[in-house]
Structures are given as structure tokens and as C-alpha cells.
Amino acid sequence: MFLLSVVSLAIASVSAFFSLSVQEEVLKVALACTAVFAIFLTLVCAPWSLKLTLVAIPFVIERIYSFSMR
């Protein structure tokens, strides 16, 4: 299960990157949908430690950002 979640996370990352850099609309939407599907697949198949890490990262970044703005 861990290998499947890492592979789907890699697919999501690559397709999200390409959806931001491609110019054609149909390809951009297809890559974005692939990224969203792969993220959901990652969250379903991932172990709890990876799920908690993925959820905690935005909170940590927000906390660091709010402390740096003071």
C-alpha cells in the first residue's frame, strides 16, 4: 500500500506540474483531473503517518508564515 501511495503521489505531482506549464486547455484540464484523482488515491491508500504528514504540512507552513510576518 505504501508503494502505491508513493507512486500515485508522484503521478499527482508530475501531472500538476505539467498542467501549470502546458498551454492547451484540453490537456491542462485532463492533467488537473489526473492530479486530483491521484491525490485522492494517495489519501485512500496511504498509511496514517503519511496522511498526517500531508495534512500537517499546510498548517506548519501557515504558522511559519504568520510568525515571519510579525
DSSP letter for 69, please.
Answer: T
Distances (CA, A) of 31 to 7, 17, 56, 68: 16, 9, 25, 34
> From CA 24, how far away is CA 27, in angstroms rounded?
6
Of residues 60 and 43, more confidently modeled = 60
Q: Report H helices in the chain.
A: 2-21, 25-45, 48-68
Q: How many domains does the chain have?
A: 1
User: pTM for this structure?
Assistant: 0.64
**High-pLDDT (> 70) share of the chain, %:** 99
The pLDDT assigned to 52 comes to 86
Residue ranges making up the domain that contains 18: 2-68
**What confidence tens digit (pLDDT) does each residue in 15-44 have?**
999 988 899 999 999 999 999 998 888 788
